[in-house]
Amino acid sequence: MPEWELIEAKLRELPSLREETRRLQRLLIGNAVDLELDSAGRFLIPPRLRDHARLDKRAMLVGQLNKFQLWDEDAWNAVSEADLMAIKQPGGLPDELRDLIL
């Protein structure tokens, strides 16, 4: 929750007269959902968000430092493979980031 509150605070600080701000607020705040864990530590993603993410039977919960992403397993595998191929290309990863993967 503290991470989400930081996002809300940043959204509040944006100029509300800009269409880009209103669009981002609608997307982030309008689709935000409080989820509760069941006794087994699981949570249920609302159908509209499952549909939007094209989640079916198998999903991947992918850590992103202080956040996480939820992906359809096949979509994650495809993006992950494309990312690996991209960083293997000459110039695909700046020198200052190379020591993070060695």
Return the residue matching tokens 């990863």: 93
Q: What share of the chain in percent tops pLDDT 90?
A: 36
Element (H, E) at 25: helix 19-30
* Global confidence as pTM: 0.69
Q: What is the mean pLDDT of the chain?
A: 89
Residue 81 clears pLDDT 80, i.e. is over it: yes
State yes or no: pLDDT of 102 exceeds 80: no
Domain ranges of the chain: 1-32, 45-102
Q: Is 91 left (phi over 0), alpha (psi -120 to 50) or beta?
A: left
pLDDT at residue 96 in the model: 81
pLDDT at residue 9 in the model: 92
What count of other Cβ atoms lies within 10 Å of the Cβ of residue 14?
A: 13
With contact defined as beta carbons under 8 Å apart, do 74 and 93 qualify? no
Residue 69: helix, strand or coil by DSSP?
Answer: strand
